[in-house]
């Protein structure tokens, strides 16, 4: 696999090595040993899958404190714009984001470490999205920031009238108003 660093510390794009022939293709979508060596040691404990239609935007979500999660995300079918936002107060890149197009065709994966908010927008007619988490979901520890916070300046590559949100995702605070974020000097993996 090929690891590409992004401008946000710890957020990386993973490109698998794909072996193809007349029968089709094969690639290793995840190897604990290779991931630990190339990215960071993480023990994933939960796999999730979501199906969404064009215009669905999910985010920007995170889990608080000791319930913080790293995510390894990929698209099996369709095309999305995946976004990670640095929400570690004191970080030199606080409030900045990385946006990567993930698709069934490019087979790229994005690793989002603890301390970042995450979201995605569906750019194709439909998308099948899979992700691994290194901590169990704790609904009482959910955190989020507004997907359309002007200070983040995220281009979701969707017209505003096409965006489809859950009721919950309509009510998230702006980054400047979020009460519980992360601290850059705290190791959330300890």
**pLDDT of 129-146, one tens digit each?**
999 999 999 999 999 999
Mean pLDDT of the chain: 96
CA angle 176, 180, 184 (to 5 degrees): 85
Confidence label for 1 from pLDDT (cuts 50, 70 and 90): confident
Q: Is the dihedral of CA 63, 67, 71, 76 positive or negative?
A: negative
Residue closest to 34 by CA, chosen among 78, 67, 1: 1
Domain count, the chain: 1
Q: Which domain, by its residues, includes 153?
A: 2-183
Residue closest to 87 by CA, chosen among 53, 132, 118, 58: 118
Q: Is residue 133 part of a domain?
A: yes
pLDDT at 73: 98
- Residues acting as catalytic residues: 61, 131
Is it the case that residue 176 has pLDDT exceeding 90?
A: yes
CATH number of the domain bearing residue 42: 2.60.120.10
Q: Is residue 189 part of a domain?
A: no
**pLDDT of 75-95, one tens digit each?**
999 999 999 999 999 999 999
């Amino acid at each position: 696999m090929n690891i590409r660093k992004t401008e946000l510390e710890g957020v990386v794009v993973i490109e698998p090595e794909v072996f193809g022939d007349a029968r089709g293709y094969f690639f290793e979508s995840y190897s604990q040993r290779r991931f630990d060596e190339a990215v960071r040691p993480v023990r994933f404990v939960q796999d999730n899958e979501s199906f969404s239609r064009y215009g669905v935007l999910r985010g920007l979500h995170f889990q608080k404190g000791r319930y913080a999660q790293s995510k390894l995300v990929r698209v099996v079918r369709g095309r999305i714009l995946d976004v990670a936002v640095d929400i570690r107060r004191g970080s030199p890149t606080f409030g900045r984001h990385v946006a990567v197009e993930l698709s069934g065709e490019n087979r790229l994966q994005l690793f989002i470490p603890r301390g970042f908010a995450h979201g995605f927008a569906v750019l194709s007619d439909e998308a099948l999205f899979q992700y691994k988490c290194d901590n169990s979901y704790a609904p009482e520890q959910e955190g989020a920031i507004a997907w359309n916070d002007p200070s983040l300046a995220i281009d979701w590559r969707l017209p505003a009238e096409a965006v489809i949100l859950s009721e919950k995702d309509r009510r998230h605070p702006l980054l400047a108003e979020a009460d519980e974020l992360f601290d850059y000097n705290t190791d959330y993996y300890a």
